[in-house]
Amino acid sequence: MDPEGLREDLRLFQTTLLQDGLKELLNENKLIDCVLKVEDRSIPCHRLILAACSPYFRELFFSEDGKEVDKKEVVLEDLDPAVMEAIVNYMYSAEIDINVNNVQDILTIANRFQIPSVFTVCVNYLQKQLSKKNCIAIYRLALMLNCARLAVAARDYIADRFETLAKDPDFLELAHPELFAIIGADALNVEKEEVVFETLMKWIRKDKEKRLKSLEEAFDCVRFRLLPEKYFKEKVEKDDLIKTNPELLKKIKVIKEAFAGKLPEKEKGRRWQGRRGGEVTRLPER
């Protein structure tokens, strides 16, 4: 056998031996030196395993000067005890049952306790499970957990099915950064830019008191140059929320100049380009 193959076999045998030994110690309640208290459940474990698998626990068991803290009991708030127990069992066995009912809870806990292997597996699972029913929830969860890969995957899924998903009541509950990241995307799949503008105004009017202040920023997400000029004059310029806003009127003036072929140099770029789903992919510069 070649030396590399021998080393690989030794690593595999040692890993198996170690995992089996750890599971046996846990199952037989031996050398237990820590208990996690989650609601009314006590989860016995070994501080060494927790510290080895999670930077969160490693920091918990050591003081700022690097000295070990003899912490026998750790109380954890706002957790599902069954999910936390599954996470602990994973630390010992490298096995965890991830399914549609628990994946979001497991992802959240893996993020909280900084367990990258479980976090990555959950992200992969959710990406494969994206559907019209769950994509908005997954998008918001990914943003909350600061998981860029999952957030982009969910955003692109929504953008590709924008006209259908914009009719979902949950769509109107998006926060303004969440919405603007979708409607401002180059990948937004729409046949007509009118859909984008109308969806935006519907979102604004859903909670006008709080959202009206976001309208100026939102304007930069709509590619008004893709609208028919007649529609722009009748639906955009005459909208009550727009025509009373001095800052928006300045933007309206620039857009009207663009319709007339007087596009300022600094305004040339993606705002005036087509969407992926529309007939125009890039507008010619006059």
- Where in the chain are the domains? 162-274
Runs of H (alpha helix) within 113-147: 116-129, 135-144
DSSP state of 279: S
Task: Tell me the C-alpha to C-alpha distance, in Å, between residue 149 and each of 122, 160, 186, 276.
Answer: 12, 17, 17, 21
Runs of H (alpha helix) within the chain: 3-27, 47-53, 55-60, 81-93, 103-112, 116-129, 135-144, 148-160, 162-165, 176-183, 193-206, 208-211, 215-219, 229-231, 240-243, 246-259
Task: Tell me the C-alpha to C-alpha distance, in Å, between residue 106 and each of 58, 92, 110, 276.
Answer: 20, 16, 6, 35
> Which uninterrupted H or E stretch holds 241?
helix 240-243
> Which pLDDT tens digit goes with each residue over 163-203?
999 999 999 999 999 999 999 998 899 999 999 999 999 99
Q: What percent of the chain has pLDDT over 90?
A: 73
| Best CA proximity match to 256, nearest among 284, 221, 230 | 230
> Backbone phi, then psi, for 196, in 5-degree steps?
-65, -50
Listing DSSP states for 159-182 in one string gives HHTHHHHTTSGGGGG--HHHHHHH
At the topology level, CATH places domain 162-274 in 1.25.40
DSSP state of 169: G
- pTM score of the predicted model: 0.82
**pLDDT-derived band at 44, boundaries 50, 70, 90:** very high
Among 65-69, 135-139, 251-255, the range scoring the smallest mean pLDDT is 65-69
Measured between alpha carbons, how far is 154 from 132 in angstroms, rounded to an integer? Answer: 10
Reduce the DSSP state of residue 57 to 3 states and report it: helix
DSSP state of 69: P
At position 210, the amino acid (one-letter code) is K
267 has pLDDT over 60: no
Residue 130 burial (10 A CB sphere; 0-12, 13-18, 19+) = middle
Measured between alpha carbons, how far is 202 from 94 in angstroms, rounded to an integer? Answer: 48
Measured between alpha carbons, how far is 147 from 173 in angstroms, rounded to an integer? Answer: 20
Task: Tell me the C-alpha to C-alpha distance, in Å, between residue 273 and each of 123, 156, 183, 196.
Answer: 32, 18, 13, 14
80 has pLDDT over 80: yes
268 has pLDDT over 70: no
At position 8, the amino acid (one-letter code) is E
Task: Tell me the C-alpha to C-alpha distance, in Å, between residue 141 and each of 92, 106, 136, 144, 155.
Answer: 28, 12, 9, 5, 12
Q: Which two tokens stand for residue 76?
A: 């954890």
Q: Are 193 and 278 in contact (CB under 8 A)?
A: yes
**pLDDT-derived band at 282, boundaries 50, 70, 90:** very low
260 has pLDDT over 90: no
pLDDT at 109: 96
286 has pLDDT over 80: no
DSSP state of 34: E
